[in-house]
Amino acid sequence: MNKELMTTENGFVIPTVGDDVMSGIGEELEGLQISFDKGKIPAGGGLAFEVPGDDPESPDSVKEIVGVIIDHYPLNSYWTEKYNGQNVAPACFSTDSHTGTGTPGGDCSKCQYNKFGSGEDGQSKACKNAHRLYILRSGEMYPIVITIPPTSLKSLSDYLAKRIVTKGLRSYGVVTKLTLKKATNNTGIAYSQVQFSLVEKLTPEQTETMKAYGESIRPITRNIDFTDSDETTVTVDTETGEVISPL
């Protein structure tokens, strides 16, 4: 890969990953459980993400996360008990929003717990819908993972639909910036909502590189235990004020 392909016009550095490395990722690590560094969304309307720093015991606070989304997929999760601070796997989960694994399992579209009104408050869903993003930051070889909570799903879907897909682009073909804004639900409870914006488009060659990288690492990103990316941040439902179990 030449230097022109390694760096975008705005200075974003794309890793020089050769075919041998890409094939090695898929072949050597497939089926293994790999731990990804996590970006965390604050509670209470905070405006800074928490990301791993040089000191594992002291994460960095950043106002924005910038990178290429090399993989993303929905997460549905249903717990039979309220969140108690423990890292417990859900009774049922889905990583495609179509088919649940566990109890009750089966077709998500027909599941009683995936319908509004099934939550304890009588308005929300008992099954929580979130989305997992893998973001490759400038100059890094490995993505970080961030779980987008239900309260920020509309921002994500609007960005992907209106700024990416309808423009003939793909998420791995652009540099995306994530920021936070403080929002308040109808009961006055503040929460942090993720905002998405397009920083720049990659060249066709850079896009192909990121597409190939994403495909090579997908056997790993799609094989992460559900609780491996659970967040300890409490999220509040935008309409009901319900405290949502970490996802």
- Angle, helices 204-221 vs 19-29, to 10°: value is 10
Distance CA 247, CA 219 (A): 21
Across-strand partners of 106? 100
For residue 198, what are its two tokens?
Answer: 């397009």
| 110-to-93, 106, 131, 152, 180 alpha-carbon distances in Å | 14, 8, 20, 24, 33
Confidence of residue 233 (pLDDT cuts 50, 70, 90): very low
pLDDT digits (tens, 9 = 90+) for 140-190: 988 999 999 988 999 999 999 999 999 999 999 999 999 999 998 777 888
Distance CA 113, CA 107 (A): 11
Mean pLDDT of 30-53: 85
Q: What pLDDT does 1 receive?
A: 47
Domain boundaries, the chain: 3-72+133-239
Q: What is the mean pLDDT of the chain?
A: 83
Q: Which secondary-structure segment (H or E) carries 194?
A: strand 190-201
Percent of the chain with pLDDT over 90: 47
pLDDT digits (tens, 9 = 90+) for 94-124: 888 899 999 999 999 999 999 988 988 787 8
